[in-house]
Structures are given as C-alpha cells and as structure tokens.
C-alpha cells in the first residue's frame, strides 16, 4: 500500500519550488532549476519514509520533462535519495 494515500496534503506549485503542506505545517519541498537540477529537497522528519521525496521528484520531472539530477554539492542523504530513485 502506498503510504501517501494516508497523508492529506496540498501541493503549492511556484516557479522552481514545489511544496507539500497541510493545515499545520510544510511536509516537504523541492527547489529546482529549469534544467531539473535539484538545488534543495527537504521532507519534514515526521513525514519521512512515506514517498514524499520521490513524489516531489516525479513532479519536477513532469514539469520540466527532464529526469531530476542533484546539483553539486549534495549531502550524503541526498546522494542516497538519488541513488534509490534512479
């Protein structure tokens, strides 16, 4: 079962930033450029391991038509995320 189905959130799409939020807090966000290079990705620790980061990257790919890649430098956690999603 997809854990995202159990989380209620709204999606805010702005130029270069996608944010998942509910009525209380931001669940996560990604900042990217027109080349689909991810400058920053964050998921609130309370909502991690639910597929939110993967969904954020899927939306970046939908919007840019390019598979997202990390922008250098990338953190060890970011490297893990991109290795899993490739």
Q: Domain residues of the chain, as ranges?
A: 3-85
pLDDT exceeds 90 at position 45: yes
Of 60, 62, 52, 43, nearest to 8 by C-alpha is 52
Can you give the pTM of this predicted structure? Answer: 0.80
Give me the DSSP letters along 25-50.
Answer: SEEEEEEE-TT-EEEEEEE-GGGTTS
- Res 1 pLDDT > 50: no
What pLDDT, on the 0 to 100 scale, is given for residue 2? 55
For 3-85, CATH number?
3.40.630.30
């Amino acid at each position: 079962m997809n854990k995202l189905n159990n989380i209620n959130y709204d999606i805010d799409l702005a130029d270069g930033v996608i944010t998942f939020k509910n009525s209380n807090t931001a669940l996560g966000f990604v900042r990217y450029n027109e080349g689909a290079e991810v400058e920053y990705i964050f998921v609130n620790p309370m909502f991690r391991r639910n597929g939110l980061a993967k969904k954020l990257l899927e939306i970046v790919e939908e919007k840019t038509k390019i598979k997202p890649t990390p922008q250098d430098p990338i953190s060890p956690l970011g490297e893990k995320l991109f290795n899993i999603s490739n």
